[in-house]
Amino acid sequence: MPEDQTATRRSVSSQQDHILVTRALEGDQRAYLDLVEKYQKGLHLHIRRTIGNVEGLEDLVQEAFIKAFKALHTYSVNYAFSTWLYKIASNHAIDYKRKRRLVTTSLDKPMPSRDGEVRQEVPDITYRPDRRIEDRQRVNVIQDAIDSLPPKYNRVIVMRHQEEKSYMEIAEELDLPLGTVKAHIFRARKLLYKCLRDKRDSL
């Protein structure tokens, strides 16, 4: 394809992105879904190229979108939206991979000493008698947030994160297009995040 045609096509795409971003910032939920639909496949390939075909790749893609949309007000039209979005996705994927590679020291592994091997004795500074109560309160708050979702969003979140069904299994069970299921899960996560953020003092 001639260079001038390629530049024109990119320019048109960038203009479309800027319009969608503006609409999204004004509260147009359809604009968010249009951006997801436009970039979801490319972002999936980009993350897979960045860190490989890891487990939970679809979740990483959705989380990258959520991070981007939370920071959408910081996006500058002086740059291509796709470049900005892919940078956020790359950083998120790399952070995920780095956390999985953290090396922990086994507390049961004997340590060499002059007198032979000794086992480490590390005091449990994390012990808190009220921890179980706080954990239960946190679970209740999260469950309340899930229960407050509109039925179509509650249903997919429960199937995805509590019943651990795949996107395809959810689509088949609910007789919905795969894209619709992904859009519903994405929207449900946004609503959950907003609800939990509002209730963060309770967590």
Q: Which of 79, 100, 121 is the last residue of a domain?
A: 100
Give every residue of the chain whose pLDDT is below 70, as ranges: 1-10, 101-139, 198-203
Instruction: Count how many domains the chain has.
Output: 2
pLDDT in tens, 59-110: 888 889 998 998 888 888 888 898 899 999 999 888 888 877 654 444 445 5
Q: At 46, phi and psi to the nearest 5?
A: -65, -45
pTM: 0.50
Query: What gap in Å lies between CA 36 and CA 43, rounded to an integer?
Result: 9
- The DSSP-derived string for 65-89 is HHHHHHTGGG--TTS-HHHHHHHHH
Specify the CATH number for the domain of residue 195: 1.10.10.10
- Domain match, 96 and 20 both: yes
Range of 179's domain? 131-202
Query: What gap in Å lies between CA 203 and CA 192, rounded to an integer?
Result: 14
3-state secondary structure of 113: strand
pLDDT in tens, 54-63: 778 888 888 8
Q: Which two tokens stand for residue 135?
A: 């954990």
